[in-house]
Chain A
Amino acid sequence: MYKYDNYDQQMVDARVEEFRDQARRRLEGKLSEDQFKPLRLMNGLYLQLHAYMLRVAIPYGTLNSEQMTALANIADKYDRGYGHFTTRQNLQYNWIKLEDAADILADLAKVEMHAIQTSGNCIRNISSDHFAGATHDELVDPRPYAELLRQWSSFHPEFTYLPRKFKIAVIASEKDRAAMRLHDIGIQIVEQNGELGARFFVGGGMGRTPMIAPMIRDFVPLDQLITYAEACLRVYNRYGRRDNKYKARIKILVHEIGKDEYTRQVEEEFKHLLDQGIEPPREELERIKPFFADPAFEDGPKTVDRSDPDFALWIDRNTHRHKHDSYVSAVISLKPVGGIPGDATGEQMRLMAQLAKQYSFDELRIMHTQNVVLPHVKIADLHDLWTELDAAGLGSPNMDSIEDMIACPGLDYCSLANARSIPLAQRISERFDASGKTGKLGELKLKISGCINACGHHHAGHIGILGVDKKGKENYQLSLGGSEAEDVSLAKITGPGFDEDGVIEAVEKVTDVYLDQREGEERFLDTYRRIGMAPFKEALYD
């Protein structure tokens, strides 16, 4: 994985000291909150319901054992012994003291990590496929391109004060495991006539106005990748709606002026920029690529002893086919039955770090679905790995099942939330686990947001739940039919909302409709698309 050069390290170290001085002045009363707020947000420090919250960037979700151990140590030393993995492949600490924030950033900098650009109207952490560099179905490893974009977007002077936040995802397979088309810019690395290039999708997003990004260019040569991205950002920066926060995302601009007009302007800007020579030298990409070279894979057994049914179930659900046939990628579920999606204790983080060192060439990935991946595990080691995970409560065999739901922190932690998300996730996983229906339902992506900002990706859930405030009471809207994968679609609301008990009953009812109506190997989503909303509405409201 990528290692900082001197420039990277100096940049991060300098920012730590700058923030240390800013925090000191705030604590001494020399800065008001209005003055300090934009400074702390530039360093990922929010103020949430119970305390400050620090969001740490994990570029394209990749980290090593030393970094995961550092995250664990911070959780234990400065927080309350745990962290929360997010849908942007980041980690959040919920109980941070302002007095400690600079020391935490210094600890992060020692392991080449930071919290820069995890907030504010700038280009956020670049996300990618959590199986990148390991999966059997990718064209190339997308992470060198994600890293190039990270370097370009870090402290980019022109894009520090965009109209609104800006999110980019990069993938390199037809399978979309990064919700690529629900990003401000989604980039797919593709091949055309033997040459690699980038397909650009612009103007997607969730939030209060969900949109699927249209493709604006099917092939940008890779030696023009940054220039084209710059052109996309420039047009947005020039015309994005700064007058209205709720209309300031690029998706609104693309929608309002139309894809064709936006594309025309991008192409014009691109042409102009090509003459400016802003593309990083090819040598920089070539310098980056070896950091992502394959580890020294060894041939070994290609099958496992499946006589233990619990182990066999975990293999079936929580492993992903690797590009080397003696390996798999193993998903560590952070969704134990009744647990808090995405939370991990310091102890669990240290264990995952140790297991990565032992079984996965020192590498881990964070999934946007709030789980952790060991990307390169020898098939021969799987039973030992599973045994250790299971003993630590990390062996839940539930990837992509209804128990593997995404849930934002919701009203239990978040100052923007209208309703709690986590209790729903806990009760739904308990209910479906107890009834034994989880396995029968197969792939069923449930996503829960506690407010319209949609951090829980409810628009993209096969089943989505949105928490709203109804006259001071928590209320939940149910939606069906969303997908963030290559078959991307936006979920539609079923009808009037429910209280907490009611929405859990409603989830059960829609899954019953599916089990009753499905044909062959159909997933919930396939059945919904075939039969439409009516049978589900009938079950819910008649």
Chain B
Amino acid sequence: MKVLTGNDLKTGDVVWWTGSEWSRHVDDAVDAGERAEEILAAEEAARRVNVPYIIEATREDDGKVRPAHIKDRIRALGPTVRPDLTLKPQSPEAIDWVI
């Protein structure tokens, strides 16, 4: 699937395109499909998100979205060396998902 991601203009938070807005949670991401470039252009013009770009990802059997590249998986979760600062501070094992 083609997923749009970027960093929120105000906070810098990593965000993912949900089809209508931006979410901090990668599992909210939708497949932008053939409209990816069009949405990207519109969102760049809207200037809410910094340098949005398209990545490859897969939706797994449990419905979770897994970016293809480790860099985007780290972006999706947070720094692997600070589990307490990730989006899943109560689940240190979430780091395994990144690697």
A residues within 8 Å of B by Cβ? Answer: 26-27, 29, 32-33, 47, 49-52, 80, 95-99, 340, 411-413, 417, 420, 422-423, 426, 472-474
Give every chain B residue within 8 A of A49 (Cβ-Cβ).
14, 71, 74-75
A335 CA to B98 CA, complexed, in Å: 25
Structural contact, B10 and A50, CB atoms closer than 8 A = no
By secondary structure, the B interface counts as loop
For A98, give its contact among B12, B14, B47, B74 (CB under 8 Å). Answer: B12
Number of interface residues of B (CB under 8 A): 22
Q: Name A51's closest neighbour in chain B (CB-CB).
A: B12
> How many angstroms between the C-alpha atoms of A417 and B47 in the bound complex?
26
Instruction: State in angstroms the CA–CA spacing of A26 and B80 once bound together.
Output: 31
Per-residue contact bits, chain B 66-99, to A (CB 8 Å; 1 contact, 0 not): 0011110011001111100100000000000000
- Residues of A near B81 (CB, < 8 A) are 340, 412, 420, 422-423, 426
User: How many residue pairs, one in A and one in B, have C-beta atoms under 8 Å apart?
Assistant: 64
CB pair B50 A50 closer than 8 Å: no
Where chain A touches its partner, the secondary structure class is: mixed
Give bound CA distance, A26 to B71, whole Å: 27
Q: Which B-chain residue is minimally distant from A80 (CB atoms)?
A: B85
- A474 surroundings in chain B (CB, below 8 A): 70
* Chain A proximity of B24: nearest CB distance (Å): 11
Kindly provide the distance from the CB of A372 to the nearest chain B CB, expressed in whole angstroms. Answer: 20
Given that A47-B12, A49-B74, A413-B79 are contacting pairs, would A472 and B68 also be in contact in the complex, using a CB cutoff of 8 Å? yes
Q: Which residues of chain B are within 8 angstroms of A47 by Cβ–Cβ distance?
A: 7, 12, 50-51
Indicate if B11 sits at the interface (CB-CB under 8 A). yes
Do B11 and A97 touch across chains, with their CB atoms under 8 A apart? yes
Q: Tell whether B55 is near chain A: CB-to-CB under 8 Å.
A: no
* Residue pair A412, B13 in contact (C-beta under 8 Å): no
Q: Which residues of A contact B11 (CB under 8 A)?
A: 51, 97-99
The reply to whether A26 and B74 form a contact with Cβ atoms under 8 Å apart is no
* A50 with B78: CB separation less than 8 A: yes
CB neighbours (8 Å) of A52 from chain B are 12
* Interchain nearest-CB distance for B17 vs A (Å): 17
Q: Of the candidates B9, B71, B82, which one forms a contact with A27 in the assembled complex, judged by CB atoms under 8 Å apart?
A: B9
User: In the bound complex, how far is the Cα of B12 from the Cα of A80, in angstroms?
Assistant: 14
Are B80 and A420 interface neighbours, CB within 8 A? yes
